[in-house]
Amino acid sequence: MKNKKIILLLIMGSFFIAGNVLAVTCPEAGTWDSTSGVCIPTGTGLPDPGGIDPVETVIYNVMDWMLRIVGVIAIIAFVISGMQYMLAAGDQNMIETAKRNMKWSIVGVIVALIGIVILKTVYTLLD
């Protein structure tokens, strides 16, 4: 029992000593902030990003880019299916295939447009 008390006192004492040794001391008091226990430079002269988190901006740009590409691909698919329809020459199988392709390319355009609207709305609400 006595050994446990001594070991406990030694452990507690080592934490106290380590806490004093590891105290944060920043180089210059005026240009550093150490409120979180880490020296963080203040007044670096870097411009303020305007309150927009760079991660949000990157995600927005990537999603916007992808939705626009999907829209362009859907429009190209619509044009190709229109050419299929014109070149069917009365073949019912080709006409049905062209109609089905047109339908799904229109769905693709609508999905891309709705996605862009939702993305811009959410981004505006988060701003």
Please report, as a single letter, which amino acid is at residue 66.
M
Residue 63 is assigned to a structural domain of this protein: yes
> pTM for the whole thing?
0.53
Per-residue pLDDT at 87: 93
Task: Look at the chain and report how many structural domains it folds into.
Answer: 2
Whether 31 and 60 share a structural domain: no
Residue 93 has pLDDT above 80, yes or no: yes
Q: What is the pLDDT of residues 49-92, one digit of tens each?
A: 555 566 777 788 888 888 889 889 999 999 999 999 999 988 99
Please report, as a single letter, which amino acid is at residue 101.
N
Residue 104 is assigned to a structural domain of this protein: yes
Range of the domain at 94: 54-126
44: left (phi over 0), alpha (psi -120 to 50) or beta: alpha
> What token pair was written down for 37?
């226990």
Per-residue pLDDT at 18: 47
